[in-house]
A and B are shown apart, each in its own frame.
Chain A
């Protein structure tokens, strides 16, 4: 019974420490109408220290959602508008000559913040997008010969327009794999649309005040790390990721020709981390298969490479993930 008490104790601790989740969601809902999934995904990224990529057509409140989240937390926030003429130095910083000291000094770029909004990340060429690689993975930036650690927490929240739109550059695989979640935002529902109109034409701008400190986030992350993942869940996660690589082993032979490459080990890690954060949001001290399924699409959709056959047959990664989830046995 001792182990059972541990879970109960953990549940109670989560109940105590996760109260801020309700406040954050309420604060977000005051600014963003609908988009429940978007808000949940941003919280998952925040709690599991994973970067989030938001994709959707212009005007779906992607930037507003990120700005609101950053405003609700008392932390450094910077916004970088990605443009075709942006340079890596514009993001990470550069060495400048100081006449006063007679030497080169490092001028830090806007990446040195807790929350970095990389707006329309796919408007900049791959060279600039790659400037984020070290920052996102190592949580540090090298300017000249000097390496600077980034502040904690450090989170890149990027937005992008669908690739099909003009003047966009697709993100390199190495870059896109570093985003824990890729959230696809859809249009709001009819009722939500009416509320959006009402809110925006009233002329009243509700002020967003910080309700959380960065230390609260760091503490919450510590609790999230304690959320229990049973080996059955680990097996389930591994099965899902393996099914993206070897679908024929999971009675999904028809998907084999549609997948050029499956999820990397980073996909398994992020699936487990995201499921744990999702369990925390749901005030649970343990992960159940529902948590894995809830985050599977966001974690895997940008990690599955589609073949030419898939593109010719109009098969999307969404469909592939759904088929996999419906075929892998739930523990």
Chain B
């Protein structure tokens, strides 16, 4: 009986021991490195699932002379259908002094209990061979390497900058319009288009008022008179009279029913050709007659425009007065756009600062 009790006690103790088994292993990629070269320490702990763990953390060195550059995050692997866990962590180490370093066993806390790795390691750091007889082969330290340009880093800043320009322009425009007390969209006041005959008559009145009757002014007088008539013909009949000769214009107007008007026009063009191209000095009464002929031709061939249509056009083109609503909307637009542009500008500046420094 007492044997059975002893056996049960030993078995229970063994089971308890087995349940609490934690193993810590430490390994290294290479035991030999050159000065400044890097290698990885692998710390691995095997424990039951559900147990808490805490790996050692090195802020500077592991031992004097061996620096820890980087720690990886623990990697967890489940074993035995999730009953056991294998947690591993890597440490990137280096050394800048040659020599032989002893790396003691590392300690891991599992359920607040410390377990040491089963292995201790040694790291041999050796310097680079230097041929002292050839000092020319020594090179100074290299410059800090610039990070390669990546468009992804800059694209947002770039597009925001592009977007900011039109916003600022619109903002500026709105401020100007607001300051000048004008509506957002400028209403261009279109002068009422005069009918061709009225335009020509105005020009003829202007020519008449200039009183260029002197012989030396005849050329200018007839040039203006014929240009007025050719412009009138162009607008009234719709062909390019300005690029046609007198004979060609007369030929195009042969269908005009008023023969007298055509004869007068022909006479006018003949005289003007003589004055313009043959140094002919027309007499004062000739000038008068041709002016009257021009007026007669215009009056006989003019097409009256419906006055109602002209008035309608004028009404449409009258500048609208601004309302209070328009003014408020202008102010609102300015505030929104200003805020938006300020926000974008700040964002761009911050991003640029981060990218550059």
Distance (whole angstroms) from the CB of A272 to the closest CB of chain B: 13
In the assembled complex, B245 has its CB within 8 A of some CB on chain A? yes
Is there contact, CB below 8 Å, between A330 and B278?
A: no
Bound form: Cα–Cα A285–B274 in Å: 10
Q: How far is the CA of A233 from the CA of B277 in the complex (A)?
A: 7
A232 touches B279 (CB 8 A): no
Nearest CB on A from B109, distance (A): 84
Establish whether residues B245 and A289, one from each chain, have CB atoms under 8 Å apart when the complex forms: yes
Q: Chain B: interface residue count, which band?
A: 10 to 19
A329 interface residue per 8 A CB criterion:
yes
Q: How far is the CB of A277 from chain B (nearest CB, A)?
A: 16
**Chain B residues near A293 (CB-CB < 8 A):** 245
- The reply to whether A228 and B279 contact each other, CB–CB distance below 8 Å, is yes
Query: Are the CB atoms of B240 and A326 closer together than 8 Å?
Result: yes
B335 within 8 A of A: no
**Complex: A288 Cα to B279 Cα, angstroms:** 12
Q: With A6-B279, A7-B280 given, is the CB distance from A288 to B273 under 8 Å?
A: yes
Hey, which chain A residues are within 8 Å of B279, CB to CB?
3-4, 6-7, 228, 230, 286
Which residues in A have their C-beta under 8 angstroms from that of B223? 331
For A7, the chain B residues whose CB sits under 8 A away are 274, 278-280
- Find out whether the CB atom of A230 lies under 8 angstroms from the CB atom of B281: no
Do A330 and B245 contact each other (CB < 8 Å), given the known contacts A230-B276, A232-B276, A288-B273? yes
| A190 lies within 8 A of chain B by Cβ | no
- The answer to whether B243 touches A326 (Cβ under 8 A) is yes
Q: Is A328 an interface residue, CB under 8 A from the partner?
A: yes
B160 within 8 A of A: no
Contact of B245 among A230, A285, A286, A290 (CB under 8 A): A290
Question: Is B342 part of the binding interface, using a Cβ–Cβ cutoff of 8 Å?
Answer: no
- Residues 320-351 of B at the A interface (beta carbon under 8 Å): none
Interface residues on A, range: 20 to 34
Residue in A closest to B247 when the chains form the complex, CB atoms = A290
CB within 8 Å of B: which A297-331 residues: 325-331
User: B76 near A: Cβ within 8 Å?
Assistant: no
Q: Does A38 contact B (CB under 8 A)?
A: no
Is B242 among interface residues, defined by CB-CB distance under 8 A?
Answer: yes
Q: Complex formed: what's the CA distance from A279 to B243 in Å?
A: 20
> Shortest Cβ distance from B282 into chain A, in angstroms?
9
Cβ–Cβ < 8 Å partners of B281 in chain A: 1, 3-4
Q: In the assembled complex, which residues on chain A have CB atoms less than 8 Å from the CB atom of B246? A: 288-290
Question: B230's closest neighbor in chain A, by CB?
Answer: A330
Is A329 touching B243 in the complex (CB atoms < 8 A)? yes
**Closest-CB distance, B228 to chain A (whole angstroms):** 14
Contacts of B274 in A (CB 8 A): 7, 286
Residue of B nearest to A327 (CB): B243
Chain B residue at minimum C-beta to C-beta distance from A2: B281
Q: Which residues of B contact A1 (CB under 8 A)?
A: 215, 281
Residue of chain B at shortest CB distance from A289: B245
The answer to whether B276 and A228 have CB atoms under 8 Å apart is no
Q: Which residue of B lies closest to A279 (CB)?
A: B277
Point out which of B242, B245, B277 has the most chain A C-beta atoms below 10 A from its C-beta: B277
Contact between A330 and B277 (Cβ–Cβ < 8 Å)? no
Binary contact track A223-241/B, C-beta < 8 Å → 1, others 0: 0000010101100000000
Subset of 6 A-B contacts with CB under 8 Å? A285-B278, A286-B274, A290-B245, A290-B247, A326-B240, A330-B244
- Report which A residues bind B (CB closer than 8 A): 1, 3-4, 6-7, 228, 230, 232-233, 285-290, 293, 325-331
Kindly list 17 other residue pairs between chains A and B, CB separation below 8 angstroms, not including A7-B279, A329-B242, A330-B243.
Answer: A6-B279, A7-B278, A230-B278, A233-B277, A285-B278, A286-B278, A287-B277, A289-B245, A289-B246, A289-B277, A290-B247, A325-B243, A326-B243, A327-B243, A330-B245, A331-B276, A331-B277
Rank and list the top 7 A-B pairs by shortest CB-CB distance, nearest first: A286-B278, A3-B279, A289-B245, A230-B277, A290-B245, A7-B278, A288-B277
